[in-house]
Amino acid sequence: MAMTTLGILGSGFGSNMQAILDAIDAGALDARIGIVLSDHPDAHILERAELKGIRAEVINCSGHLMKFPEAAQEETARKLTEAGVDLVCLAGFMRIVKRPLLDAFPSRILNIHPSLLPAFPGLEAWRQALEAGVSESGVTVHLVDAGMDTGPILGQERVAVLPDDTPETLHFRLQAAEHRLYPEVIARYAATLTP
């Protein structure tokens, strides 16, 4: 397959998008980012994209704090398609993707999650891991389906939970693992796609 065009959906700082850009710059990922979309107008990920000359736009969720309305998903699918996106990467995107976006990109939406799924789906997985008293957590890249962090797993990296870990220290180490694993899995998965 020729160079893969990625679409990034993010809600926050954009550190995973930066890791993807770094992998592209290093030649470890044969891809380009065609568009970055965020559900928060003031999300730093939009600023990061604009600084790199990448098209960056806001998804209008009509004032809903958590819901991803159907009209917003249709708009998102249209913008991704217009940008020629082959593969959609969720990077800290805090809304559950459903139809019609799943239909527009079947088996072509990836997510990174800060736990060894199926353990600790949902929000603040690092805090869930600490509260459960586990000795090991990690990160997972998976395909997105209509559930919450339930899609087929494409890759995982284990991270030890240390006796003196706080939610902040564990989250920091999990993010470092995310930044290694996500670009690697994107590269591997993109190589399997047919145009």
Catalytic sites, residue numbers: 113
The residue among 69, 68, 71 whose CA lies nearest residue 90 is 68
Nearest to 79 by CA among 41, 35, 110, 47: 35
| Whole-number Å distance between alpha carbons of 18 and 13 | 9
Which residue in the block uniquely carries the two structure tokens 């009209």?
71
Query: How many CB atoms are closer than 10 A to CB 52?
Result: 14
